[in-house]
Structure 1
């Protein structure tokens, strides 16, 4: 068997996974993309109501654009900001269509290993191809063989729990019916009715929490009894709401201003230093209890926005080198530590930072960031360009940085603006001043969406 003639298996038909396939095709390497969902961009479609912080010009991969060009595909206006739904239908789906049979839907990866070698065995390990076990939508199982594996499955399917210790709080699982781990789509009548006139706890301190607070404040205009309790594990400081109008990232600043307005206008109460330990039922409501014994007044709903984490269970037979805190590749982790960096201070990186003790296996896209937030689509595209070059034996191209980010990254966008195909505020770029005073409550961006931070 000539291993080099086997396909490269890519896990996930999201932005990074499909870009990886495009770069491999450009290099003359056959990809096979395995997607658990029934459509390309299945995870992105779940936050279709959320607008990205990055423009169309920043979320279309160059190799993918080349692959799409002969089909008559027209790139949307590069200066406008797509929603998740726009991104999926106007770019990801056409890209999957042109890749054709190279994308297999309804294929859930259940395990990856070396053929005939568990993680303990050294003998001839690198000479063996990878085995990838999948389960199809009909329940049938299959084993595929690959020369390399790129895991671009993201972290969307594994949100972090409510517990301050990183574990589910006592009672969290049994209270699941009244808990959500996503920014709600309040344009959906059923979802809107769920929160209208209700008291809702929002747990988290990032962009997703800001967006949820802004949504609920907007809902309170139509349903005055709607009220939010914003639960923060830390105290409120000058940086809690971001930089506001001085923020170099306009969308982030607008989100912070909207969250602050929700509190200032009485639509939300902030509870600080609250690390949830337990959730108790109180009739039809829930009571959150902190580690220090504090009990919040009962709430009708809880929105948990405490971040995401990678699912590494199906990679257990591979020898991965992961940081013990972030669960990101060892060489990448110091560069993305959220205690030290934002997306604007992480320089572009590639195969060197993404390599593991297990040769030819890579975590790419949001999955590569482990538990770190604020990932950029452009960063993922650069990652897979470098990986494809390395797999093609072009080490010089693999090590060359072909992406230049502004000092603050490319996180600017229309985060809170709800107009179709929203355009940047005058001045453009990531560093333009945010639109003044009239902040329209609308769509933000999920903290872990791979389109922006």
Structure 2
């Protein structure tokens, strides 16, 4: 009898985050053999980087059903469904028990960085017989290079370790790499382990999504404790209202509350706002870095630290020998692009999708989790859980179950703009919301208002030069 019939299919799952471990749980239930490769020293390595951040989705949206069934057999106590976990709680109360107290414990290889994936005996060009060849996954661990062969691959590596750069054109800003010691990406822990770096400093945050909003709220809390801390919000768009979210209309109440709290900070003037600020250059000037905007000669801010919270992108380098079909803009599976494109789509609902939409021209290879969204934002864990349930069914040959995908996401309460209650609040307090270099929603090249001057970002230049709170207007 052929070996492919007598043994269960081996499926390589790349990444041991929430979606990767959920994939392994579903594969086990299907009688398949998962092998999970995690680059970090422990499961949830990416989540541990934002362990201080409280999620805006409660436990009921963060636990996969197959994973829960495994945990129930291990005597696990389910967290309160309406509690909003931090990243640390997600790891400690869910991912670690799943990885250490269930049958998954023998199927996870940590400190195993995947460096390349291909087909055994086939380069990317060769076609005849390709689909029958096993995948060859090469990875590095403490013992040196290793090779794993698998019948299918689920790439659930996420995007956390591939942040977008500060440059508005998608490239690193000129000088960005040279100023790396003054730049952080994502969401540094300004109230905890990174406090000393930011307390009492002038900090600019670039971005307009949930990460940037959370970062600015944390800095405002730090300013309450250390009043000398100064905060500048740099956003590429002309208006901040989209960052305020859906408020009370958001079905995830914590996400709505985040937007309301942020709107209050902006409208009260506690956060200096620079809209229409598209970064193109970063340079050192004494003890500070100067962040300059494109298209407006002389428009810049001088700060002590810059936090870049402009989203993430997938790492595709180790997939050079895999045949991929990706949307040219979002770098996600083409079938998903129209549903999640931030140029067109800003609502919370995404049509249910699974193996069919996530499959690639390389038979047996799938993206899942945040990486399946490419460069698009606003991914929820429950989306990934339904993805891997469908993928596991497809790999196991249960095509009917794979096609029956069901997904109901909580609405954001906002489509293409913030609710009237928030936009009117902003309009009514435009003067109070005047930013470091001009009022909120000012056009890109507006000169700074002398009345809005602040010590944050001031450059030392000859008095003859026109100066504003963010430094002189120099060509």
| Fold similarity call, TM over 0.5 | yes
| 1:354 aligned partner | 358
1:107 is displaced (CA, Å) by: 0.3
Does the alignment pair 1:297 with 2:301?
yes
1:410 is displaced (CA, Å) by: 11
Does the alignment pair 1:260 with 2:263?
yes
1:88-237 equivalences under 5 Å are 88-97=91-100, 98=102, 99-138=104-143, 140-188=144-192, 190-236=193-239
Using the alignment, how far apart are the partners of 2:407 and 2:314 within structure 1?
25
Using the alignment, how far apart are the partners of 1:284 and 1:237 within structure 2?
30
Using the alignment, how far apart are the partners of 1:101 and 1:191 within structure 2?
35
1:234 is displaced (CA, Å) by: 1.0
TM-score of the superposed pair, with normalisation by structure 1: 0.87
| 2:71 aligned partner | 68
SS of equivalent residue, structure 2 residue 194: helix
Q: Given that residues 355 and 390 in structure 2 are in contact (C-alpha distance below 8 angstroms), is that contact kept between their aligned partners in structure 1?
A: yes
1:78 is displaced (CA, Å) by: 1.1
SS of equivalent residue, structure 1 residue 219: helix
Structure 1's unaligned 5+ residue stretches are 412-432, 435-453
Residue by residue over 1:38-66, the C-alpha shift from the partner in whole angstroms, topping out at 9 and shown as x without a partner, is 11111111111111111111111111111
Q: Given that residues 240 and 275 in structure 2 are in contact (C-alpha distance below 8 angstroms), is that contact kept between their aligned partners in structure 1?
A: no
Using the alignment, how far apart are the partners of 1:404 and 1:285 within structure 2?
47
Residue by residue over 1:84-108, the C-alpha shift from the partner in whole angstroms, topping out at 9 and shown as x without a partner, is 1101111111111121120000000
TM-score of the superposed pair, with normalisation by structure 2: 0.83
SS of equivalent residue, structure 2 residue 114: strand
Does the alignment pair 1:396 with 2:405?
no
SS of equivalent residue, structure 2 residue 19: helix
1:3 is displaced (CA, Å) by: 4.6
1:242 is displaced (CA, Å) by: 2.3
Aligned length: 411
Q: Given that residues 32 and 104 in structure 1 are in contact (C-alpha distance below 8 angstroms), is that contact kept between their aligned partners in structure 2?
A: yes
| 1:48 aligned partner | 51
Q: Quickly say closer, same or farther: Cα 1:9–1:312, change in 2 above 3 A.
A: same
SS of equivalent residue, structure 2 residue 60: helix
Residue by residue over 1:316-361, the C-alpha shift from the partner in whole angstroms, topping out at 9 and shown as x without a partner, is 1011110000000011111111223346221221011101111110
Q: Given that residues 210 and 258 in structure 1 are in contact (C-alpha distance below 8 angstroms), is that contact kept between their aligned partners in structure 2?
A: no
1:29-40 equivalences under 5 Å are 29-40=32-43
Does the alignment pair 1:376 with 2:376?
no
SS of equivalent residue, structure 1 residue 297: strand
1:75 is displaced (CA, Å) by: 0.7
Using the alignment, how far apart are the partners of 1:295 and 1:210 within structure 2?
23
Q: Quickly say closer, same or farther: Cα 1:228–1:337, change in 2 above 3 A.
A: same
Using the alignment, how far apart are the partners of 2:215 and 2:404 within structure 1?
40
Using the alignment, how far apart are the partners of 1:66 and 1:215 within structure 2?
36
Using the alignment, how far apart are the partners of 1:410 and 1:40 within structure 2?
34
Residue by residue over 1:235-288, the C-alpha shift from the partner in whole angstroms, topping out at 9 and shown as x without a partner, is 115434223345454333322222233333333211111111110101110001
Q: Given that residues 210 and 243 in structure 2 are in contact (C-alpha distance below 8 angstroms), is that contact kept between their aligned partners in structure 1?
A: no
| 2:337 aligned partner | 333
Q: Quickly say closer, same or farther: Cα 1:160–1:387, change in 2 above 3 A.
A: same
Q: Given that residues 343 and 374 in structure 1 are in contact (C-alpha distance below 8 angstroms), is that contact kept between their aligned partners in structure 2?
A: no
Q: Given that residues 350 and 409 in structure 2 are in contact (C-alpha distance below 8 angstroms), is that contact kept between their aligned partners in structure 1?
A: no
Q: Quickly say closer, same or farther: Cα 1:170–1:83, change in 2 above 3 A.
A: same
1:405 is displaced (CA, Å) by: 3.5
SS of equivalent residue, structure 1 residue 175: helix
Using the alignment, how far apart are the partners of 2:284 and 2:405 within structure 1?
53
Larger RCO (CA within 8 A; separation ≥ 6): 1
Residue by residue over 1:388-437, the C-alpha shift from the partner in whole angstroms, topping out at 9 and shown as x without a partner, is 0001100000000244345x1799xxxxxxxxxxxxxxxxxxxxx99xxx
1:186 is displaced (CA, Å) by: 2.6
| 2:281 aligned partner | 278
1:7 is displaced (CA, Å) by: 1.2
Q: Which runs of 4+ in 1 moved over 6 A?
A: none
